[in-house]
Amino acid sequence: MTSDTPGPAPELSGRIRGGPAELLHDEVLAPQFAFESRHLLRHYVAIEKTLAAEYVRMDLITAEEAHRIAALLDSVGPDTLSAQPGANMSDIAFALERHVEAGLPHPVTAWHADRSRNDLQACAQVMYGRDQLTRFAAALLELGSVVHRLAEKSCDLPMPGYTHFQAAQIITPGFHLAALSEHLLHTHARLLNAYDGIDASPLGAGAMAGQELPWDRDRMARLLGFSRPQPHALTAVASRRWSAELTAELSLLGTALSRFTTDLLTWGGSEYGFIELPDELSGISSAMPQKKNYPVLERIRGRTAHLTAFHLDVLLGQRNTPFCNLVEVSKEAGTHLLNAFDSAHGTVRLLTEVLRRLTFRADRMRQVCEREFLGGFSLANALCLTEGVPWRTAQVVAGKYVVLAATAGAAPAPGEPALLAEAAAGHGITLTDPARLLAEAFDVDLGLERMVSAGSARPEAVRAVLRTQQETYERLTADWERRAAAIRAGAEEGDRALYGTTGTETEQEDGDGTRTSVRHAH
C-alpha cells in the first residue's frame, strides 16, 4: 500500500475545496500522470534528492532526515504512485510529496519550504529532453558509421550521377554516400550545439521571480548534470524554446534523409536496378509474382514527414502564448515530443539496417555509364584545351556530336570519329585526332580519374574526405561521452552528499529504454 491509496488526506491547498472533476481527471490529469510516471519519474526523483541535499546545506533539515527522504524517493517506481484526485490532485509532484510524508516517522517541517512546481517541472522536462537527444545522437552515430563503411567499400564503382533527373556525370556510390555522411556530421554539430543550449538547469527559479532562500543554483545544476543554471528565473520556467529547437533539428534531418531515401528508391526501381536488398527487407506483390518490392524505403521516407509535423505542432502550441509558466506551453505543446524522437529514432534505425544490408550492382551501374554520353563535358573541355576551340564553340560542337551519334545509333565508346569531325567542320574547325578525343572523353574509368579537384568523385579524393570524416566521427563520439560523463559525475556527487559511502547501486530502465544507475540508501 502506498500513500496514494484513496481516503482522507491532508489538504494541499486552502484555495479550493476539492479535487479535480472526474472528466478533468480522466481526460487530462490521469493520462499526464501516467506519461510522467513512465518517462519523467526518475528525473523528478533526482531533483527531489538534490533539493534535499540543499536543505541540509542550508541547515533546514538534518542529514538523517535527508537520508530518510532519499530512501523513500528511491523506493518509488512507475507502479508505486497513482493518480488520486482526492489525495494528490492527480499530480505527480504532489504524489511524490504524499509518498514521502507517509513514510517518514515524523514530519520534516522545512521540507518543501520555498518551493514551486514550476521550476521542478521545467527541470524534469529539460532533463527528459536532454536524455532523448543523447539517445538519438547515439543512433545517429551508428547510422553515420554504417554510411561511412559502405562509402569506403564503394568509392571505386562507377555509376551515373543525375541532375534534373537526367544522367549527367560519372560518380560512385561512395561519392554519394560521403555526401550523406557529411550531412550527418553537420547534423551532429547542430545537435551538440542544441544540447549545450539546453544544458542550463531551471531549478531554483521558483514560480517565476526567484526564491527567498539562498539556494546554491550552481551546485544544484552540477548535481543534476547541467553545466550551469539558467541565469534568468522567468526564462527558466516560461521558455520551452528547447523543445522547438530539438524538433526543428529532427525536421531538418528528416528532410535531408527523405532526399537520400528518394535516391535509394530510384536506384532500386526495375529501370535502374542499381541496388539490391535481401529478401527479409523486401516485399512482394500479391498479384504480380515477378516483383520484388522495397516498401521499407517507402516507410523510411514516409516517416520523415512526421518529423516536420511534430515540429509544427510544438511551434503552434507555443505561438501567441504569454511568456510565463503555462500548462498550455509546458505540457500541451510538448505532447508529441516523445513521438518526434521515437519516430526519428525508428527512421534512423531502419535506414541504418537498410544500408548495412544493401549491395550495389556494379554491372548494372557500369552498363548505364557505358550507354549514356556522360563524357560530353569532358569532350568539350578537351576540344577547348587540346584543340584550341573556343569554350562556347566547343560546347556546341560536343552537343552536336552527341545528337549525330545518338541518331546514328553509335555507342559513346569507341564513338564515331567521323561524326565528331563533321560537327567540328560545321564551325570551320579541323580536328587533329578526333578518335583519341572520343576514346578519352567517354572512357568510364577515366571519367572518375580525370576529376582532380579536392572533394570530387575521384576515388582518392573521396577517400581523403572519408578520412577527415572518420576523425570527426571519433571527435563527436568523445564529445557526447564527455557530456554523459558530466551527468554521471553529478549524480555521484549527489549520492555522496546524501549517502556518504553507504548505499547500494542498481540499474533501472525507464519507459524509453534508458538505463540509469541508481544508488539506494540502506
Per-residue pLDDT tens, the chain, 522 aa: give them: 344 444 445 566 667 677 888 999 999 999 999 999 999 999 999 999 999 999 999 999 999 999 999 999 999 998 899 998 888 889 999 999 999 999 999 999 999 999 999 999 999 999 999 999 999 999 999 999 999 999 999 999 999 999 999 999 999 999 999 999 999 999 999 999 999 999 999 999 999 999 999 999 999 999 999 999 999 999 999 999 999 999 999 999 999 999 999 999 999 998 999 999 998 987 777 777 776 788 899 999 999 999 999 999 999 999 999 999 999 899 988 999 999 999 999 999 999 999 999 999 999 999 999 999 999 999 999 999 999 999 999 999 999 999 999 999 999 999 999 999 999 999 999 999 999 999 999 999 999 999 999 999 999 999 999 999 999 999 999 999 999 999 999 999 999 988 875 445 555 566 666 555 555 554
What pLDDT does residue 508 have? 59
The answer to whether 268 and 275 have CB atoms below 8 angstroms apart is: yes
The answer to whether 213 and 113 have CB atoms below 8 angstroms apart is: yes
What pLDDT does residue 453 have? 95
Q: What distance in Å separates the CA atoms of residue 373 and residue 106, rounded to the nearest whole number? A: 87
Q: In angstroms, what is the C-alpha Rg of the chain? A: 32
What pLDDT does residue 78 have? 87
What pLDDT does residue 89 have? 87
- What global pTM score does this model have? 0.90
Strands (E), 255-410: 275-276, 359-360
- In the three-class reduction of DSSP (H, G, I as helix; E, B as strand; rest coil), residue 518 is classed as strand
Closest CA to 419 of 432, 435, 442: 435
Closest CA to 260 of 244, 280, 278, 275: 275
The answer to whether 378 and 288 have CB atoms below 8 angstroms apart is: no
What does residue 375 show for φ and ψ, rounded to 5 degrees? Answer: -95, 15
- In the three-class reduction of DSSP (H, G, I as helix; E, B as strand; rest coil), residue 329 is classed as helix
Helices (H) and strands (E) in the chain, counts: 21, 8
- Polymer length in residues for the chain: 522
H-run or E-run covering 167: strand 166-171
As beta bridge partners, residue 509 has: 515
Pairing of strands 166-171, 159-163: antiparallel
Count other Cβ atoms within 10 Å, centred on residue 315: 14
Q: What distance in Å separates the CA atoms of residue 98 and residue 78, rounded to the nearest whole number? A: 15
Burial of 288 (0-12, 13-18, 19+ CB in 10 A): exposed
Task: Please report, for the chain, the start and end positions of each structural domain, with discontinuous segments joined by +.
Answer: 1-113, 119-366+457-482, 375-441
Give CATH for domain 375-441.
1.10.40
The answer to whether 326 and 232 have CB atoms below 8 angstroms apart is: no
The CATH class given to the 119-366+457-482 domain equals mainly alpha
Strands (E), 114-154: none
